[in-house]
């Protein structure tokens, strides 16, 4: 631990203060940390002058950062220490052509040319545009068959490829290949004008517009020394909770539809819309786009908006309780939810699952509690009671979170009312950032821990912008949940995780 | 069973009466921009400078709705002197150039292809293709199937197979990694077929314009029949455009 620099969520530190260890020491430090119940928030490469460096942001009950310098390869931590490094190391290989030696499953993450012009680690020819161009893991035998799904799926959803290895109806292995949504967000951000930042960050994952954009704004606020008034903090917290509620409600409805129980699917589908409309009341957009900006919010919450929010919550809370009761007490639903798609606690911990997917496996980590920002320090935490790791647990955790978030919003509206109306709206403008600095921001988005890292150069320009959506941790969890399940349970398992394709693909 | 009945009584019928009766959106919603052509040039320049999408043309005093993400900054900065976003959600257009607007849009119904109305006016089946979309366009298209909008009552449906479809509805800036899959889907749809570009991403690359990982403009790949701007388009914008264009 002596080798690590303790940092705080959303507080900038100078780059010089980040310990840069020789790789073998970096390796042992990370190994020890992860073996002692530590988790990885970010682990990425960046180019600094002529060399490449790695940076790891770690968490237990505190946040830490540590760095190292690497050449064209480094010894893989995935092979020797923990699966938690698995996806991060593949990403480093893909983005910078730096090879993690001994990585047990070195394949591309998103299928794109690396940023550094090094020769491609995977030997891909990127003049072919298909990311599915990869030898999938195969199970062989007489009774084995393979099912390939996607990238274009049957419903109105994002693209991704799923390859099932099955024996009859039983799935032995599911391999998920993404990258179809890759838009080059990380590569693009340091090259574009700051005025584009919020628009791009709101579109990293449209269902997490508030979460991702809040991460960006907090990072810019830290690097530009901006203060945010209390009224705006409350509005931002309410917006993040509204985002959580509408997604959870939509997913509970979809889960209900997936087990062919239509009434809750219809009711929740409509109720979700009510919450999107509340975001529209706050921001003018159903996904909260255009609301959060560095320094505050573009719209203030006046008496009119408070009133509309309060009225709607009073009207709709009992409806949600009733529809939840209808869904969770139906025997046909219970029969399908329980013991389906189970991810054992130990496995979830090995993989480092976050958000409701983690909490449903009894990993109680919630960034709102561990690293509180905005108004979360003064709000009550949530507790989950069903944590068996199956679809039922993930659904129940979401139900509990909906009720908890409704309670938080009511508390926040009251707090807001006691405020003097000294608040004022902000708009996007270019901010000068502190040079040679590093900041990490963490928010508990509805799917889990979202994190953005910014590194500025000697002139205060953004040198590296690193984004991590919670889906980056959790997709492997979905693949694991399908092991030895019937293939017909895939839609149910998939919806219970409901991970982001574009948040992962960036 | 009793619970189902109780819930059904509580929920009632929530389907909107639109388009029979008009529907009013909350005043903060940003729809069709009202542009003041007499606005002072300095303010127009200020608005253009702050526009993250470079959607404002200072010489013609127009806004390109195909690029605009409707963030509303130009309204805030000029205090509404140049542009004010109205609650009018009917902003679909039949040609790309119509979207570059000085404050008016041609009536969509008059500009749709007449044979499409005849072919698809009573039944329209669409295959949705998400090609790099952030999932907000997809989500707000999906809600059209919820009881409030109930798209199926107009004979319009989203289907699973391109073989069953009359056209494609495309969202996203068309990531390079989705280009081939998009073209394959288009080719699998039997002719005559419709191509709909939904959201500023598919029209101009949207927030991702300039990225070398995206194509950025559906029109460069396929002949687009209907443009639905927005970031994302409000479900009513999509509904309005579909009804005006095909009914």
CA atoms within 13 A on the CB side of A495: 23
Chain A 56-85, residues with CB within 8 Å of chain B CB atoms:
none
Task: With beta carbons under 8 A apart, name residues in chain A contacting B85.
Answer: 284
Nearest by CB to B178, which of A151, A155, A184?
Answer: A151
- Give the closest of B73, B146, B175 to A427, CB-based: B73
Interface residue A189 vs chain B (CB under 8 A): no
CB atoms within 10 A of CB A418: 6
Whether A237 and A360 map to the same domain: the answer is yes
Does any domain span residue A142?
A: no
Phi, psi of B129 (to 5 degrees): -125, 120
Given A87, A115, A131, the domain boundary residue is: A131
Q: List Cα–Cα distances, B196 to A42, A298, B95, B200, in angstroms.
A: 39, 32, 11, 12
Yes or no, beta carbons of B52 and A290 under 8 Å apart: no
Residue A502: its pLDDT value, please? 93
Residue A339 lies in a domain: yes
Q: Number of Cβ pairs closer than 8 Å across A and B?
A: 217
ipTM of the complex: 0.93
Euclidean distance between CA atoms A174 and A294, whole angstroms: 41
Model pLDDT, residue A419: 67
Task: Judge whether B14 lies within some domain.
Answer: no
What residue ranges in A285-342 does DSSP mark as E strands? 292-293, 296-297
What integer pLDDT is reported at residue A423 of this predicted model? 61
What is the structure's pLDDT at A186? 94
Q: Is B71 inside a domain boundary?
A: yes
**Integer Cα distance of A415 and B171 in angstroms:** 40
Mean local confidence (pLDDT), B189-194: 92
Positive or negative torsion for Cα B42, B43, B49, B53? negative
Give the integer Cα–Cα distance in Å for A210 and A296: 13
* Within-domain flag for B210: yes
Whether residue A178 contacts residue A110, with contact meaning beta carbons closer than 8 Å, is answered with yes
Cβ-nearest to A428 among B50, B135, B147: B50
Is the domain of A327 the same as that of A245? yes
* Residue pLDDT, tens place only, B123-170: 999 999 999 889 999 999 999 988 889 999 999 999 999 999 999 999
State how far the Cα of A353 lies from the Cα of A61, in Å rounded to an integer. 16
Give the per-residue pLDDT at A50: 85
| Residue A272 at interface with chain B, using a CB cutoff of 8 Å | yes
Residue B119, pLDDT > 90, answer no
Residue A137 in contact with residue A104, Cβ under 8 Å? no
Q: Are residues B82 and B126 in the same domain?
A: no
Nearest to A199 among B53, B148, B175 (CB): B53
Position B21 in a domain: no
Count CB neighbours of A27 within 10 A: 18
The answer to whether residues A224 and A117 belong to one domain is no
pLDDT tens-digit readout, A28-87: 999 999 999 999 999 999 998 889 999 999 999 999 999 999 988 999 999 889 999 999
**Sign (positive or negative) of CA dihedral A153, A156, A160, A165:** negative
A101 and A229 belong to one structural domain: no
Alpha-carbon distance of A279 to B190, in angstroms, equals 40
SS (H, E, C) chain B: CHHHHHHHHHHCCCCCCCCCCCCCCCCCCCCCEEECCCCCHHHHHHHHHHCCCCCEECCCCEEECCCCCCCCHHHHHCCCCCEEECCCCCCCECCCHHHEECCCCCCHHHHCCHHHHHHHCCCEEEEEEECCCCCHHHHHHHHHHCCCCCHHHHCEEECCCHHHCCEEEEECCCEHHHHHHHHHHHHHCCCCCEEEEEHHHHHHCHHHCCCCCECCCHHHCCCCCEEECCCCCCHHHHHHHHHHHHC
Domain for residue B84, yes or no?
A: yes
* Residue B169 to residue B226: CA distance in whole angstroms: 9
C-beta of residue A438 within 8 angstroms of C-beta of residue A454 = yes
Task: Give the chain B residue whose CA is nearest to the CA of A278.
Answer: B26
One domain for residues A210 and A326: yes
Confidence of residue B247 (pLDDT cuts 50, 70, 90): confident
Do B113 and B160 belong together in one domain? yes
Q: What confidence tens digit (pLDDT) does each residue in A139-178 have?
A: 888 889 999 888 888 888 899 999 999 998 999 999 999 9
Partners of A75 in the beta sheet? A101
Average pLDDT score, chain B: 90
Which CATH number does the domain housing residue A338 bear? 1.10.645.10
Quickly state the pLDDT bin for B37 (edges 50, 70, 90): confident
A469: tokens are 């959506």
- Evaluate whether A317 touches A271 at the Cβ level (below 8 Å): no
Q: Which domain holds residue A92?
A: 5-131
Q: Are residues A460 and A358 in the same domain?
A: yes
What is the domain count for chain A?
2
For residues A216 and A198, the answer to whether their CB atoms sit within 8 Å is yes
CATH number for B74: 3.30.70
Residue of A319, A488, A326, A317 lying closest to A391 (CA atoms):
A488
pLDDT for B102 equals 85
pLDDT by residue (tens digit) across B76-114?
A: 887 888 899 999 999 999 999 999 988 888 877 777 777
| Token representation of residue B68 | 């605009």
Distance between CA A54 and CA A72 in Å, rounded?
12
Orientation of helix A209-224 relative to helix A230-258, angle to 10°? 150
pLDDT computed for residue A99 by the predictor: 92
What is the extent of the structural domain holding B84? 33-89
B76 contact residues in A (CB cutoff 8 A): 298, 425, 427
How many domains, chain B?
2
Residue B26 in domain:
no
Spatial separation of the C-alpha atoms in residues B153 and B230, rounded to whole Å: 24
The packing angle between helices A230-258 and A490-497, to 10°, is 170
Whole-number pLDDT of residue A132: 61
User: Is residue B170 located within the same domain as residue B80?
Assistant: no
Q: Tell me, yes or no, if the pTM score tops 0.90.
A: yes
pLDDT along chain A (506 residues), means of 10: 88 94 93 93 92 94 94 90 92 93 90 86 79 78 88 87 92 92 94 94 94 95 92 93 95 93 92 94 94 92 91 94 94 93 94 94 94 93 91 95 95 79 77 94 95 94 94 94 92 93 93
The answer to whether residue B9 is domain-embedded is no
Closest Cα of chain B to A303: distance in Å? 14
């Amino acid at each position: 631990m002596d080798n690590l620099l303790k940092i705080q969520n959303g507080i900038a530190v100078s780059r010089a203060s980040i310990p840069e260890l020789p790789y073998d020491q970096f390796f042992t430090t990370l190994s020890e940390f992860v073996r002692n119940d530590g988790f990885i928030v970010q682990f990425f490469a960046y180019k600094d002058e002529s060399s490449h460096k790695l940076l790891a942001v770690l968490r237990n009950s505190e946040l830490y950062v540590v760095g190292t310098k690497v050449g064209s390869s480094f010894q893989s931590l995935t092979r020797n220490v923990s699966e938690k490094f698995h996806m991060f190391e593949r990403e480093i290989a893909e983005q910078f052509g730096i090879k993690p030696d001994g990585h047990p499953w070195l394949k591309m993450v998103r299928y794109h040319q690396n940023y550094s012009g090094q020769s491609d680690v995977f030997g891909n020819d990127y003049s072919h545009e298909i990311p599915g161009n990869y030898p999938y893991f195969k199970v062989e035998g007489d009774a084995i068959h393979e099912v390939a799904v996607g990238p274009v799926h049957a419903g109105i959803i994002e693209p991704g490829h799923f390859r099932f290895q099955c024996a009859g109806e039983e799935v032995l292995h599911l391999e998920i290949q993404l990258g179809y949504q890759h838009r080059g967000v990380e590569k693009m951000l340091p090259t574009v004008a700051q005025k584009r930042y919020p628009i791009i960050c709101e579109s990293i994952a449209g269902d997490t517009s508030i979460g991702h954009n809040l991460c960006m704004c907090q990072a810019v606020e830290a690097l530009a020394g901006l203060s945010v008034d209390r009224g705006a903090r409350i509005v931002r917290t309410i917006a993040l909770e509204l985002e959580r509620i509408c997604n959870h409600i939509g997913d509970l409805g979809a889960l209900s539809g997936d087990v062919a129980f239509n009434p809750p699917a219809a009711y929740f589908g409509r109720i979700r819309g009510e919450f999107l409309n509340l975001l529209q009341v706050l921001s003018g957009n159903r996904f909260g786009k255009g609301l959060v900006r560095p320094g505050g919010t573009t719209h203030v919450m006046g008496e009119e908006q408070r009133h509309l929010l309060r009225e709607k919550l009073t009207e709709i809370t009992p409806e949600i309780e009733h529809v939840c009761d209808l869904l969770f007490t139906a025997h046909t639903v219970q029969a399908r939810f329980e013991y389906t798609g189970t991810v054992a606690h130990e496995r979830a911990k090995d993989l480092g699952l976050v958000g409701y997917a983690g909490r449903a496996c009894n990993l109680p980590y919630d960034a709102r509690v561990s690293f509180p920002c905005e108004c979360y320090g003064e709000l009550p935490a949530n507790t989950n009671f069903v944590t068996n790791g199956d679809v039922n647990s993930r659904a129940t955790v979401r139900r509990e979170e909906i009720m908890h978030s409704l309670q938080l919003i009511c508390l926040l509206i009251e707090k807001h009312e006691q405020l003097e109306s000294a608040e004022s709206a902000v708009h996007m403008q270019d901010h000068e950032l502190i040079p040679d600095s590093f900041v990490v921001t963490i928010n508990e988005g509805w799917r889990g821990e979202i994190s953005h890292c910014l590194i500025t150069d000697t002139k205060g320009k953004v040198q590296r912008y690193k984004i991590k959506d919670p889906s980056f941790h959790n997709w492997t969890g979905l693949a694991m949940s399908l092991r030895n399940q019937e293939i017909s349970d895939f839609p149910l398992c998939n919806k219970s995780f409901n991970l982001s394709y574009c948040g992962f693909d960036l | 069973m009793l619970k189902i009945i109780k819930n059904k009584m509580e929920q009632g019928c929530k389907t909107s009466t639109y388009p029979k009766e008009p529907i009013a959106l909350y005043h903060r919603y940003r729809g069709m921009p009202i542009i003041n052509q007499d606005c002072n040039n300095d303010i127009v320049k200020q608005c253009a400078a702050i526009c993250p999408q470079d959607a404002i043309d200072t010489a013609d005093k127009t806004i390109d709705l195909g690029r605009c993400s409707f963030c509303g900054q130009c309204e805030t900065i000029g205090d509404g002197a140049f542009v004010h976003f109205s609650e009018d959600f009917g902003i679909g257009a039949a040609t790309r150039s119509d979207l570059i607007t000085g404050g008016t849009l041609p009536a969509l119904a008059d500009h749709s292809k007449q044979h499409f109305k005849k072919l698809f006016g009573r039944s329209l089946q669409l295959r949705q293709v998400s090609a790099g979309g952030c999932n907000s366009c997809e989500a707000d298209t999906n809600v059209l199937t919820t009881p409030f909008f109930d798209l199926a009552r107009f004979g319009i449906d989203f289907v699973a197979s391109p073989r069953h479809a009359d056209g494609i509805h495309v969202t996203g800036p068309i990531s390079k990694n989705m280009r081939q899959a998009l073209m394959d889907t288009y080719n699998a749809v039997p002719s005559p077929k419709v191509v709909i570009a939904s959201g500023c991403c598919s029209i101009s690359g949207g927030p991702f314009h300039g990225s070398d990982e995206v194509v950025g403009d559906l029109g460069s790949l396929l002949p687009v029949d209907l443009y639905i701007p927005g970031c994302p388009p409000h479900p009513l914008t999509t509904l309005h455009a579909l009804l005006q264009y095909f009914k």
